């Protein structure tokens, strides 16, 4: 599969009145064409900031370094006009809370056609026709009537479908889905995930799926990246990750997820909590919570190493800095 | 309270309706939305009752009705005689950060409920002792007491919310989706904490959730709500092993599992049916989504019937 997007050594810092926040601490990411890459981590692990850094959605106080290569071009230093072009036609994003991303004052017809009217110089009836067609694609019943509703008239699942339609109308090559189903009921979540899977294939999309829930990754992704404290701790194909997890953090997450879905009788959690991100960490960020900790862990940061099919950043598996 | 002393609360035929604006502008007839209809159950001392249903199923309405936050339309809620609702029934909310005043320190937040109680003439020393005790019990450090809520993670905030509820030494703790806003890895910590507190203080818990994944670990009894009606109720393990209502079955099946092989084999059954039939008001509420509906379901509503002494279901054709 040809490489579509590559990010090298991405670091995101936030300068705040109360010091520097270290959100992303050197992450490499690659996305092949037609691939679904899962990015898993707890809140505060930097997964959303990493995604925002790819299409420059970060606020002004963010300091980003690293290279972002999209189709052979480094877009890390791209101007606003260039990045807008990419956001319009190449990389689309959908967010966790569809209500806060839709304008409550505007009918969804206006919001769906806005980009087409400005960017593609389409006439209104044509734009509307395409929008209705897309709403049908995302399985909104009575799309022809529903398109004239306001966001508050739609349920959470419907709003997320509208967001998805809005993203797909731009015919993007990459879709970033940031916790797309976290705010939804389980039954609706299943429908949306199924739809996402179907459209991914139909449109030949490459997807970056961000979530805190490993169970969602299992059914959706080809490859998975596990993040902790702004770093990638393990990266592998979906089967390797679920059946041969190496990093103790991944193992802990898996045990916890398995126990919650009834695969064991005891409820398992990872004790402790993620480190604060307002200072640099010397050793492995997970070591205070790790039950397999060795002496080296508190001193040196392990680097991501292993075979191409499975990489992990852990001293238990050899190489270190 | 009538019969057995171990019953803390008894709910009988509870219905709640809200007036809604009519579609016709000048219509004089006020329309009613039925948020809950004919809900009955018994809450036993020291047990955990799980209430499960999707958004709009009436689970929060039920919780609010139990503490008297909303008026009920029909039915009664009777509590044991020695229960003082303001003190003995406490709430833990879904969004921990939204439920905590951002201008108050952890100490103020946790101690605030005591100010509204008659027995609250605690001196500083005694209240500090209480604060320290409760903070340790919920897994917070006493040294963090002068910080503000935004300085804590979601899981920590939920611990503050639990401490705030526990400070008045309640007998019933209503947890309204206490872990839905939290990371999967943190959820288990909070559930285990609730269980621990229950064992220590003999608490009675009501645990509300929109999915079944964690309910099975914490609740003894289970109520499944669908559009304001109980579709299934009874012993949690029994229901998990042999769901009687097709909706309960769907809720169990639809949960994603951390197992790629299983997920690849999964046949997707949509929660919505593409061709929804026109159903009359008389029909069973679940007919439109039901996989095994029959003619009878379209014309009449099923009553609660017992499948066994531990399980009741509202379905004409319960699953075997």
Pairwise CA distance, residues B175 & B9, whole Å: 16
Tell me the per-residue pLDDT of A234-273, one tens digit each, with 9 for 90 and over.
Answer: 999 999 999 999 999 999 999 999 988 876 777 888 888 8
In this structure, are A41 and A183 located in the same domain?
A: yes
Q: Judge: B55–A254 Cβ closer than 8 Å, yes or no.
A: no
B40, part of any domain: no
Q: What number of C-beta contacts closer than 8 Å exist between A and B?
A: 120
Sign of the alpha-carbon dihedral angle for B116, B117, B119, B125: negative
Residue of chain A nearest B251, judged by CA positions: A187
A128, part of any domain: yes
In the predicted structure, residue B275 carries a pLDDT above the cut 60: no
Q: Judge: A214–B258 Cβ closer than 8 Å, yes or no.
A: yes
Last residue of a domain, one of A244, A259, A275: A275
Helix (H) or strand (E) holding A133: helix A124-137
Tell me the per-residue pLDDT of B107-155, one tens digit each, with 9 for 90 and over.
Answer: 999 999 888 776 556 788 888 999 999 999 999 999 999 999 988 888 8
Tell me the per-residue pLDDT of A216-231, one tens digit each, with 9 for 90 and over.
Answer: 999 999 999 999 999 9
> Average pLDDT in the B86-115 region?
90
In the predicted structure, residue B186 carries a pLDDT above the cut 50: yes
Confidence tier at B1 by pLDDT (50, 70, 90) = very low
Amino acid B3: pLDDT: 47
Q: Judge: A187–B54 Cβ closer than 8 Å, yes or no.
A: yes
Percent of chain B with pLDDT over 90: 54
Helix (H) or strand (E) holding A158: helix A156-168
List residues of B whose CB lies inside 8 A of any A CB: 54-55, 153-156, 183-189, 191-192, 210-214, 216-217, 240, 250-251, 254-264, 266, 268, 270-272
Q: Which domain holds residue A131?
A: 100-171
A130, part of any domain: yes
Q: Judge: B270–A219 Cβ closer than 8 Å, yes or no.
A: no
A219, part of any domain: yes
In this structure, are A271 and A182 located in the same domain?
A: yes
Tell me the per-residue pLDDT of A117-167, one tens digit each, with 9 for 90 and over.
Answer: 988 889 999 999 999 999 999 999 899 999 999 999 998 889 999 999 999
Q: Among A168-177, B29-38, B145-154, which is the least confidently predicted range?
A: B29-38
Is some CB atom of chain B closer than 8 A to the CB atom of A180?
Answer: no
B130, part of any domain: yes
Q: b or e along A121-157 (b: 16 or more beta carbons within 10 Å of the residue's beta carbon)?
A: ebeeeebbebbbebbebbbbeebeebbebebeebebb
B190, part of any domain: no
Contact between B47 and B221 (Cβ < 8 Å): yes
In this structure, are A104 and A249 located in the same domain?
A: no
Q: Judge: B183–A42 Cβ closer than 8 Å, yes or no.
A: yes
Q: Is A219 helix (H, G, I), strand (E, B) or coil?
A: helix
Amino acid B2: pLDDT: 43
In the predicted structure, residue A176 carries a pLDDT above the cut 50: yes
Q: Which chain B residues are Cβ-neighbours of A191 within 8 angstroms?
A: 270-272
Pairwise CA distance, residues A321 & A1, whole Å: 32
Q: Is A270 helix (H, G, I), strand (E, B) or coil?
A: coil
pLDDT: which is higher, A223 or A275: A223
Task: Give the single-character DSSP code of B50.
Answer: E
Domain count, chain B: 1
B156, part of any domain: yes
B16, part of any domain: no
Q: Among A130-134, A273-277, B222-226, which is the least confidently predicted range?
A: A273-277
Amino acid B274: pLDDT: 47
Amino acid B279: pLDDT: 61
B186, part of any domain: no
> Average pLDDT in the A62-84 region?
92
Pairwise CA distance, residues B258 & A252, whole Å: 13
Amino acid B115: pLDDT: 82
Residue of chain B nearest A18, judged by CA positions: B151
Residue of chain A nearest B57, judged by CA positions: A185
A142, part of any domain: yes
In the predicted structure, residue B11 carries a pLDDT above the cut 70: yes
Q: Among A8-12, B99-103, B129-133, B273-277, which is the least confidently predicted range?
A: B273-277
Is some CB atom of chain B closer than 8 A to the CB atom of A104?
Answer: no
Pairwise CA distance, residues B254 & B57, whole Å: 18
Q: Judge: A185–B54 Cβ closer than 8 Å, yes or no.
A: yes
In this structure, are A161 and A180 located in the same domain?
A: no
Q: What is the CA radius of gyration of chain B?
A: 21
Backbone angles phi, psi at B236, to 5 degrees: -60, -50
In this structure, are A242 and A182 located in the same domain?
A: yes
Q: Which chain B residues are Cβ-neighbours of A192 within 8 angstroms?
A: none
A309, part of any domain: no
Residues 6+ away with beta carbon under 8 Å from B272: A191, B289
Is some CB atom of chain B closer than 8 A to the CB atom of A92?
Answer: no
Nearest by CB to A259, from B156, B188, B210: name it: B188
Residue of chain A nearest B217, judged by CA positions: A267
Q: Judge: B258–A156 Cβ closer than 8 Å, yes or no.
A: no
Task: Give the single-character DSSP code of A90.
Answer: T
Backbone angles phi, psi at B134, to 5 degrees: -70, -35
Sign of the alpha-carbon dihedral angle for B182, B184, B185, B191: positive
Q: Which of B48, B249, B260, B263 to mutate to test the interface with A (most CBs of A within 10 A)?
A: B260
In this structure, are A246 and A259 located in the same domain?
A: yes
Q: Judge: A212–B183 Cβ closer than 8 Å, yes or no.
A: yes
Contact between B260 and B319 (Cβ < 8 Å): no
Pairwise CA distance, residues A183 & A188, whole Å: 10
In this structure, are A188 and A268 located in the same domain?
A: yes
Nearest by CB to B192, from A215, A252, A267: name it: A267
Report the alpha-carbon angle B224-A180-B260, nearest 5: 80
A50, part of any domain: yes
Confidence tier at B267 by pLDDT (50, 70, 90) = confident
B228, part of any domain: no
B142, part of any domain: yes
Pairwise CA distance, residues A198 & A195, whole Å: 5
In this structure, are A85 and A197 located in the same domain?
A: yes
Q: Which chain A residues are Cβ-neighbours of B251 within 8 angstroms?
A: 186-187
Confidence tier at A308 by pLDDT (50, 70, 90) = confident
Amino acid B247: pLDDT: 94
Pairwise CA distance, residues B211 & A60, whole Å: 39
Amino acid A97: pLDDT: 83
Nearest by CB to B260, from A44, A188, A239: name it: A239
SS3 sequence, A26-86? EEEEEEECCCEEEEECCCCCCHHHHHHHHCCCCCCCEEEEEEEEECCEECCCCCHHHHHHH
Q: Which chain B residues are Cβ-neighbours of A256 within 8 angstroms?
A: 184-185, 188
Q: Which chain A residues are Cβ-neighbours of B270 within 8 angstroms?
A: 190-191, 194
Name the residue among B251, B245, B243 with its Cα closest to residue B210: B251
Q: Which of A189, A218, A277 to mutate to test the interface with B (most CBs of B within 10 A)?
A: A218
Q: Which chain B residues are Cβ-neighbours of A213 within 8 angstroms?
A: 184, 256
Cα-Cα-Cα-Cα torsion A163, A164, A170, A174, nearest 10 degrees, comes to 120
Task: Determine how many CB atoms are found less than 10 A away from the CB of residue B40.
Answer: 16
Q: Among A138-147, B259-268, B300-309, which is the least confidently predicted range?
A: B259-268
Contact between A223 and A238 (Cβ < 8 Å): yes
Pairwise CA distance, residues B58 & B14, whole Å: 12
In this structure, are A133 and A226 located in the same domain?
A: no
In the predicted structure, residue B106 carries a pLDDT above the cut 50: yes
> Which residues on neighbouring strands pair with residue A211, listed in sequence order?
A40
Residues 6+ away with beta carbon under 8 Å from B41: B10, B11, B49, B221, B223, B230, B233
Is some CB atom of chain B closer than 8 A to the CB atom of A87?
Answer: no
Angle in degrees, 0-180, between the axes of helices B184-201 and A248-260, rounded to the nearest 10: 60
Domain count, chain A: 2
Tell me the per-residue pLDDT of B197-209, one tens digit each, with 9 for 90 and over.
Answer: 999 999 999 999 9
Write down the mean pLDDT value for chain B. Answer: 87
Pairwise CA distance, residues B20 & B302, whole Å: 27
Q: Among A254-268, B162-176, B222-236, which is the least confidently predicted range?
A: A254-268
Q: Which of B258, B286, B288 to mutate to test the interface with A (most CBs of A within 10 A)?
A: B258
Q: Judge: B184–A253 Cβ closer than 8 Å, yes or no.
A: yes
> Average pLDDT in the A6-13 region?
96
Task: Determine how many CB atoms are found less than 10 A away from the CB of residue A266.
Answer: 9
In this structure, are A120 and A188 located in the same domain?
A: no
Sign of the alpha-carbon dihedral angle for A183, A189, A193, A196: negative
| Order of all β-strands in the sheet with A231-237 | A91-94, A174-178, A206-211, A36-40, A223-228, A231-237, A310-312, A305-307
Q: Which domain holds residue B114?
A: 103-169
Pairwise CA distance, residues B221 & B8, whole Å: 14
Amino acid A320: pLDDT: 43
CA distance A243 to chain B (A): 8
Q: List Cα–Cα distances, B297 to B52, B279, B284, in angstroms.
A: 23, 9, 6
Helices and strands (H, E) in chain B, number of each type? 11, 11
In this structure, are A149 and A178 located in the same domain?
A: no
A199, part of any domain: yes
CA distance B115 to chain A (A): 32
CA distance A142 to chain B (A): 11
Q: Judge: B184–A156 Cβ closer than 8 Å, yes or no.
A: no
A311, part of any domain: no
In this structure, are A242 and A179 located in the same domain?
A: yes
Task: Determine how many CB atoms are found less than 10 A away from the CB of residue A81.
Answer: 7
Q: What is the CATH number of the domain that holds A45?
A: 3.40.50.300
Q: Judge: B257–A261 Cβ closer than 8 Å, yes or no.
A: yes
Max CA separation in chain B (angstroms): 69
| Order of all β-strands in the sheet with B7-20 | B31-44, B7-20, B74-79
Q: Is A232 helix (H, G, I), strand (E, B) or coil?
A: strand
Is some CB atom of chain B closer than 8 A to the CB atom of A16?
Answer: no
Residues 6+ away with beta carbon under 8 Å from A202: none
Helix (H) or strand (E) holding B88: helix B85-88
């Amino acid at each position: 599969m040809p490489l579509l997007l590559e990010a090298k050594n991405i670091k995101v810092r936030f300068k705040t009145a109360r010091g520097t926040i270290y959100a992303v601490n050197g992450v490499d990411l690659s996305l092949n064409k037609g691939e679904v890459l899962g990015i898993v981590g707890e809140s505060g692990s930097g997964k959303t900031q990493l995604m925002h850094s790819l299409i420059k959605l970060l606020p002004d106080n963010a300091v980003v370094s690293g290279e972002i290569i999209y189709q052979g071009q480094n877009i890390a230093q791209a101007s606003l006009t260039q990045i807008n072009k990419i956001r319009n036609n190449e990389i689309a994003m959908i967010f966790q809370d569809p209500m806060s991303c839709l304008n409550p004052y505007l009918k969804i017809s206006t919001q769906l056609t806005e980009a087409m009217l400005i960017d593609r110089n389409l006439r209104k009836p044509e734009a509307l026709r395409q929008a209705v067609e897309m709403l049908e694609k995302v399985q909104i019943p009575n799309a022809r009537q529903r398109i004239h509703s306001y966001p508050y008239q739609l349920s959470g699942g419907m709003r997320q479908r509208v967001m998805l339609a809005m993203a797909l109308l731009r015919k993007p090559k990459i879709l970033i889905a940031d916790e797309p189903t976290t705010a939804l009921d389980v039954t609706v979540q299943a429908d949306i995930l199924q739809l996402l899977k179907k459209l991914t294939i139909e449109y030949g999309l490459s997807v970056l799926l961000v979530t805190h829930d490993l169970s969602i990754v299992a059914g959706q992704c080809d490859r998975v990246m596990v993040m902790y404290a702004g770093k990638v701790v393990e990266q592998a194909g979906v089967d390797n990750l679920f059946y041969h997890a190496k990093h103790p953090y991944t193992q802990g997450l898996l045990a916890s997820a398995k126990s919650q879905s009834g695969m064991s009788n005891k409820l398992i959690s990872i004790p402790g909590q993620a480190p604060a991100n307002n200072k640099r960490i010397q050793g492995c960020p997970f070591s205070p919570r790790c039950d397999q900790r060795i002496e080296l862990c508190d001193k040196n940061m392990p680097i991501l190493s292993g075979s191409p099919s499975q990489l992990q950043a852990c001293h238990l598996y050899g190489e270190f800095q | 309270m009538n019969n057995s002393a171990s019953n803390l609360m008894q709910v009988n035929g509870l219905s709640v309706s809200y007036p809604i604006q009519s579609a016709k502008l000048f219509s004089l007839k006020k329309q009613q939305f039925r948020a809950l209809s004919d809900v009955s159950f018994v809450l036993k001392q020291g047990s955990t009752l799980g209430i499960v249903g999707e958004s709009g199923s009436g689970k929060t309405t039920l919780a609010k009705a139990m503490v008297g936050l909303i008026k009920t339309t029909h039915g009664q809620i009777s509590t044991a005689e020695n229960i003082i609702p303001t003190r003995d029934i406490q709430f833990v909310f879904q969004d921990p950060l939204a439920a905590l005043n951002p201008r108050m320190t952890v100490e103020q937040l946790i101690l605030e409920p005591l100010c509204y109680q008659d027995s609250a003439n605690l001196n500083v020393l005694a209240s500090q002792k209480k604060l320290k005790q409760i903070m340790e019990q919920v897994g917070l450090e006493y040294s963090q007491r002068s910080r503000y809520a935004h300085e804590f993670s979601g899981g920590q905030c939920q611990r503050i919310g639990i401490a705030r509820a526990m400070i008045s030494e309640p007998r019933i703790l209503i947890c309204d989706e206490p872990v839905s806003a939290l990371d999967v890895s943190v959820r288990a910590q909070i559930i285990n904490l609730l269980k621990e507190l229950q064992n220590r203080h003999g608490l009675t818990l009501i645990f509300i959730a929109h999915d079944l994944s964690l309910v099975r670990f914490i609740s003894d009894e289970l109520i499944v709500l669908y559009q304001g009606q109980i579709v299934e109720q009874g012993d949690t393990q029994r229901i998990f092993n042999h769901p009687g209502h097709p909706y309960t079955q769907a809720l169990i099946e639809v949960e994603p599992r951390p197992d790629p092989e299983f997920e690849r084999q999964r046949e997707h059954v949509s929660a919505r049916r593409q061709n929804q039939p026109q159903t009359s008001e008389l029909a069973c509420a679940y007919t439109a989504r039901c996989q095994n509906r029959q003619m009878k379901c379209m014309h009449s509503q099923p009553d609660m019937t017992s499948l066994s002494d531990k399980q009741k279901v509202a379905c004409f054709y319960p699953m075997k």
